[in-house]
A and B are shown apart, each in its own frame.
With several copies, the nearest count.
Chain A
Amino acid sequence: MGTSKSILASLTSEKAKWMYRKMVEIREFEEMVHDIFAKGELPGFVHLYAGEEAVAVGVCAHLTDQDSITSTHRGHGHCIAKGCDLDGMMAEIYGKSTGLCKGKGGSMHIADIEKGMLGANGIVGGGFPLAVGAGLTAKVKKTDHVAVCFFGDGANNHGTFHEGINMAAIWNLPVIFVAENNGYGEASTFEYASSCTNIADRAAGYNIPGEIVDGKDLLAVYEAAERAVKRARNGEGPTLIECKTYRDYGHFEGDAQTYKNDKEKVEQRDHNDCIKRFKDYALANNLATKEDLDAIEDSVKKAIEHSVKFGEESPLPDASELTKDVYVSYE
């Protein structure tokens, strides 16, 4: 698995089990959303994170609620890794009043600022400046909080990538830019849309470290993120981490995925699953027992089922909510 000894040393069994749990939560959550969307029970656009769990979890493992993340249209995984409540998430996706955003945001705007989750974003590239803003607050207020910007390979060609990273670099902000290079932006491949060979290659143009990791290897992500977070907290500035990964589902639910090649699908989805890989590793290295992991899986399944019931049964928002929350100061 190519993971260095130093990680093994710092990685507690507790952390390993937390990470396993979070990955399974994401997977089960997304599979469930996939199913209920297919049944026509969910409104709107839904983009699933399944397959990329190691990225969100490996990074968020180093963060506290005071640290911020900015997410993307594919935001469920980031939410879960950052500790958002599953019931609140599912209710949000159902558009219910008990949702994290009272049903007003939905899948594309799911957020929980108390957990430092600054929102999924319907705008590709929207997160770069927003992460920089959280980093700026940390710098001006002299806290040791960090901000993480998750973004896709498609977003890497948006102007905000450039503006955000340049600002973080010149101000030496505690911001970590985490590329989720899953090979596609909608139906367009990374190779077609991006002139760089790797996203991390662009880091040199900002004089910041750029690292490439196997995004299917939880511990590789975990380790790179550990270094980057440490640098950020020490006032050593931003890092760009490129995680090579794959999305198991289409761009959004309903996508026929004609652009994907079958071999790659099988290879990635069936033979390079990040959860399976970590499970094998954890067992082989005595980070957890089979019973531990089974128990986690069980408990997660129940939690997800609970969230669906909660989402389904929760009330729709009251009509009065329509024009509430537009302003703080008046309705």
Chain B
Amino acid sequence: MTKKLTFSKAINEAITLAMNKDNDVILIGEDVAGGAEVDHLQDQEAWGGVMGVTQGIVEKFGRNRVIDTPIAEAGYIGASVTAAATGLRPIAELMFNDFIGSCLDEVMNQGAKLRYMFGGKARVPLTIRTMHGAGYRAAAQHSQSLYALFTHIPGLKVVVPSTPYDAKGLLLSSIFDDDPVIFFEDKTLYTMKGEVDEGFYTIPIGKADIKRKGKDLTIVAIGKQVHTALKAANQLSKKGYEAEIVDPRSLSPLDEDTILDSVAKTGRLIIVDEAYPRCNVATDISAMVVDKGFDYLDAPIKMITAPHSPVPFSPSLEDLYLPNPEKIMAAFAEMIGDNSIASK
């Protein structure tokens, strides 16, 4: 049985299911309940996070398990690391991934390394949910897609879903994973609707999904950019080219085989990653394919990314900043030397 749910509700449902299943699961973050200890406030009216994603959860599970924190990211993310190591299974919300600047130590030097430094004697079953992505007119400090920073760091898993279905199944996997997982939610996807299975299901972390089959070109696209790629693929199809779209879904670990198999078939690769261009996931995937699948390649790998610049506020600039189908088409046109594609 499936039903239509928004991306936001799919996440809410995953958290609810996880908290029902296991009393050790707690939800912690800034206003994740919303309005703690306000006398007149009924729990069902509580904010449920700045975007309302966790609305209603405090009503079901109470304030012992749904915990509003002060604005102290180092404090509560660090606390979540050891809460995880001492018996809980926290879902910590880092409101915007940009705020990692206030708690990178707790993620990079504590959470990610604890198990290794302790010689394998600890587990850190922590999930950090965090918003990312440009397009919301939220400017330079609230629009970044910083998953490359986390992918760089050993000891973390990094998950970036692109659909409500994937979001629910991957969040459930993340919560019940015994390693620290950073779970990225694109703020511009929250209102997107999609089919989602009823009840509890998981999607394995580390398994890519082919969002569209094709034989002429592989597009690996991350998060929201999967939809940009799908749009480009539809247009390419009209021109007679079928693109295969691989959604890695998890960046660390990365499903190298699915990507390589696709490139082996198509011989061409475009990677769409809205993050900053240097040392990003696009370069990571490109380098991996060159290392392990060099002979499959009929053409240079092209990367469609943001420019090397902060995210501008002005809507007109932000629109230029992001990848779009036209940029993908132009890259493909260049790749195969067919200008008629780019000009539409």
Contacts and interface: CB of A to CB of B under 8 A. Distances in A.
Contact of B79 (A130, A261, A324): A130
A224 B308 CA distance: 45
A328 to B, nearest CB: 4
Contact of A103 (B136, B178, B312): B312
B245 interface: no
A317 B72 CA distance: 36
A106 interface: yes
Contacts of B98: 122-123
A123 B70 contact: no
A164 interface: yes
Given A104-B314, A157-B70, A166-B72, A326 B119 contact: no
Interface in A292-331: 316-317, 319, 321-330
A68 B84 CA distance: 13
Contacts of B70: 154, 157-158, 163, 166-167, 170, 185, 188, 193-194
Interface string B25-52: 0100011001111111100011100100
A189 interface: yes
A119 B69 CA distance: 25
Contacts of A104: 116-119, 140, 312-314, 317
Interface string B299-324: 00000000111101111110011000
Interface string A158-183: 11101110110011000000000000
Q: How large is the interface on B (under 10, 10 to 19, 20 to 34, 35 or more residues)?
A: 35 or more
Contacts of B138: 44-45, 108
A140 B64 contact: yes
A326 B121 contact: no
A30 B77 CA distance: 34
A170 B258 CA distance: 49
B237 interface: no
B87 A160 contact: no
A263 to B, nearest CB: 9
Interface residues of A, number: 81
Interface string A255-270: 0001101000000000
Interface in A112-162: 112-114, 118-119, 121-126, 128-134, 136-137, 139-141, 154-155, 157-160, 162
B136 A134 contact: no
B203 interface: no
A57 interface: no
Contact of B139 (A106, A125, A324): A106
A109 interface: yes
Contacts of A155: 71
Nearest to B79: A133
A133 B119 contact: no
B81 A45 contact: no
B80 interface: yes
A321 B320 CA distance: 10
Contacts of B313: 43-44, 95, 101, 103-106, 108-109
Contacts of B105: 123, 126
A121 B80 CA distance: 17
A181 to B, nearest CB: 14
Nearest to B77: A129
Contacts of A17: none
Given A44-B313, A188-B30, 17 more contacts: A111-B122, A118-B86, A119-B117, A123-B109, A129-B82, A133-B83, A137-B88, A140-B26, A141-B88, A164-B75, A166-B72, A167-B75, A258-B45, A259-B47, A322-B312, A322-B320, A323-B308
15 contacts: A70-B82, A95-B315, A105-B139, A107-B139, A118-B85, A122-B140, A129-B82, A137-B86, A154-B71, A158-B72, A187-B35, A187-B47, A188-B31, A189-B37, A259-B34
Interface of B: 24, 26, 30-31, 34-41, 45-47, 50, 64-65, 67-72, 74-88, 98-99, 101-102, 105-106, 109-110, 114-123, 136-142, 154-155, 157, 177-179, 206, 253, 307-310, 312-317, 320-321
